[in-house]
Amino acid sequence: MAARYDHPGEQAAQDPIRLLAIRDTPLSVDEVFTAVGDSAAGGTTLFVGTVRNHDGGADVDALGYSCHPTAEAELRRVAEKVCADYPVRALAAVHRVGDLEVGDIAVVVAVSCPHRGEAFEASRQLIDTLKHEVPIWKHQKFSDGTEEWVGAC
């Protein structure tokens, strides 16, 4: 009887990073979801981060994202680490920069793995590490006329 991980589909793909980008145009959930399609994946997770209408008890009217020139390279480093830690079949991450309004999509990440638990864990590591380590900054504009810069995402 074969061991559980003897089938190639139970392992990470040779090149699981399918899509990484930082864009100043609207993001497509369908594009990201399609990028991580893999017939060996039993679990695919998709996270969509949107601009909410409040933060820290204050009403948010709009915000802008900006990034350091190294942001895409850092995003790749984060993605490679996730792929090293989990049996990722496919991974995609796209973040938007520029001016956004409440309800706009700011970030989309997706991960496909052989099993759902791995997909959830890998996806959570991807978005959490992206948020903390990729040099993207948020400039929030509040309804009361005040503004605030928030470090890395």
pTM of the model: 0.91
Strands 17-23 and 90-96, by their bridges, are parallel
Looking at the predicted structure, is the pLDDT value of residue 144 above 70? yes
Number of alpha carbons in the 13 Å side-chain half-sphere of residue 119: 24
pLDDT confidence of residue 14: 85
Number of H helices, E strands in the chain: 3, 9
pLDDT confidence of residue 151: 75
Q: What is the pLDDT of residues 35-67, one digit of tens each?
A: 999 999 999 999 999 999 999 899 999 999 999
Residue with the bigger pLDDT between 77 and 8: it is: 77
What are the start-end ranges of the E strands in 10-89? 17-23, 43-50, 54-55, 58-67
Q: What is the pLDDT of residues 19-30, one digit of tens each?
A: 999 999 999 999
